[in-house]
Chains A and B, each alone.
Chain A
């Protein structure tokens, strides 16, 4: 073939290849109603749940069982178990919606560099969930502490700012983990069917089984939630920073699996 001697065009640098893909992913996210609704639902669930829990804690403070040190920040995040489901849904639909509709083919035809696509999706998801997470975390903290009255803490107290910021990062990490798992599974319904019950029910049930508590602390959600504590609790196997690292390792693993899957498998419209 005479044409085989033509040299491939010089490809632009990584940053300039990345910019249009990020712009496209941002355009996709903001032109659907779902993501906005999920962020609002997450906010309402976290802040509402936290307000409710702290209200009742304050009313019954002296009759609370146990001798563990009280966790005022953790208590104001009482709605997190419910609110994180919005992050799961956001992470899942970020790519799951494309597999379900078949649009993944249009995406991969437009952006054949699949690693770049995953990176752009992760970046946009991080930016959006971190912004929403910060608003949510600080809102629920201040609302919760107001409800706790004299049992509450100030943002300047030891470990408190770290814990509140941790709440925001936690939401981002859960969304990224969900994005990774969905990319591996390539099916939106399957990903939701696994992740939603896992984060809402199964993790909590496992935690309640006496023998396995030690092990369940290493699950992505429970390890990450250690970051919301400002005291060391006697049952803890590790501290908040280790917990954050464990959750980040889960996210890294999920995204690595996603990268391998996306690169190796055919684009498929599996539903």
Chain B
């Protein structure tokens, strides 16, 4: 089990991670979500003892990572960058890792088989594609047969086949009872893999809840109505105390009602609705709305459109990069 306690990291005057407290639940895939630059990678590096917290601490199985005996047998990690020297073969890269933690040499062959790199085991890492590099990183994470696995943006730059492979792998690792902690800036990716969700924005904890609850709470739906008798519709909605607002195209939007109720209401008042539909916000929109709020929190009062911009910009930037 991994516990973060008031974890804070400051670079100069920038707070990269701001008072994070949460526990990564055991035996589940936990998605670690936040826009680019939210502090996900910094948090992961602090879990692994690579970066020192400015304050607070992280405990792995109730002790600090650097106190673990043979840490690779407790926690395996796939970090963002291709963390291997290009001149070495895949086999030898895993071999030194195994030796450093007294892991038997035969595990190297086993994990190479598990990730499908057995045929290129003796090839230099420098010639590997991005997907092969990710597979090697995952082989390194699995080497010590650890109960906790950390994956930092594992699907970044992968082809669709590789993405499906990683998704399946993470689910099967959790099914074996392991704890999987995976970061992403894509809500849609998390919706497919994660059982639990931790959302951060600007280094602060925004949400820590089961995936299903996040979906229920955040994919707010509304009913969309279009009519040629707007005044009559407004009277009817006011009369039945249904809250609504006008969309940019003149359509009515009501939150917290069923389309069926609107249909009956229109029928009673003799109204003709040219459109009546249930609009469901995507999880991606819910996530962006949530992280945009974090921006608003820091930026002080501003208009809705203005505060939404940074999160969108960060998202766009990521897609281009």
Which A residues form the contact surface with B (CB < 8 A)? 1, 3-6, 8-9, 11-12, 20-21, 23-25, 27-28, 31-34, 97-98, 101-113, 264, 266-267, 269
Residues A6 and B81 in contact in the complex (CB < 8 Å), given A106-B97, A108-B49: no
Is B62 interfacial (CB 8 A cutoff)?
yes
- Please indicate the chain A residues that have their CB under 8 angstroms from the CB of B99 in the complex: 20, 23-24, 27
- Please indicate the chain B residues that have their CB under 8 angstroms from the CB of A24 in the complex: 96-97, 99-100
Of the listed stretches B86-94, B185-193, B194-202, B290-298, chain A binds B86-94
Interchain nearest-CB distance for B69 vs A (Å):
6
Residues A32 and B62 in contact in the complex (CB < 8 Å), given A1-B3, A27-B95, A27-B99: no
Q: Which residue of B lies closest to A1 (CB)?
A: B3
- Please indicate the chain A residues that have their CB under 8 angstroms from the CB of B86 in the complex: 101
- Is there an interface contact between B65 and A101, defined as CB atoms closer than 8 Å? no
- Is there an interface contact between A102 and B61, defined as CB atoms closer than 8 Å? no
- Is there an interface contact between B69 and A267, defined as CB atoms closer than 8 Å? no
B-side interface residues, number (CB < 8 Å): 41
Q: How far is the CA of A113 from the CA of B82 in the complex (A)?
A: 22
Is B66 interfacial (CB 8 A cutoff)?
yes
Residues A101 and B85 in contact in the complex (CB < 8 Å), given A1-B3, A110-B97: yes
Q: Helix, strand, loop or mixed for chain A's interface?
A: helix
- Is there an interface contact between A31 and B95, defined as CB atoms closer than 8 Å? yes
Is B121 interfacial (CB 8 A cutoff)?
no
A-B contact pairs, 16 of them (CB 8 A): A20-B100, A20-B102, A23-B99, A23-B100, A27-B95, A31-B89, A32-B85, A98-B85, A101-B82, A105-B45, A105-B81, A106-B79, A108-B49, A109-B71, A266-B45, A267-B51
Q: Which residue of A lies closest to B68 (CB)?
A: A112
- Is there an interface contact between B69 and A11, defined as CB atoms closer than 8 Å? yes
Residues A8 and B95 in contact in the complex (CB < 8 Å), given A98-B85, A267-B51: no
- Is there an interface contact between A106 and B84, defined as CB atoms closer than 8 Å? yes
Q: How far is the CA of A229 from the CA of B82 in the complex (A)?
A: 48
Residues A266 and B49 in contact in the complex (CB < 8 Å), given A101-B83, A110-B100: no
- Please indicate the chain B residues that have their CB under 8 angstroms from the CB of A27 in the complex: 92, 95-96, 99
Residues A9 and B69 in contact in the complex (CB < 8 Å), given A20-B102, A28-B96, A267-B51: yes
Is B52 interfacial (CB 8 A cutoff)?
yes
- Please indicate the chain B residues that have their CB under 8 angstroms from the CB of A97 in the complex: 85
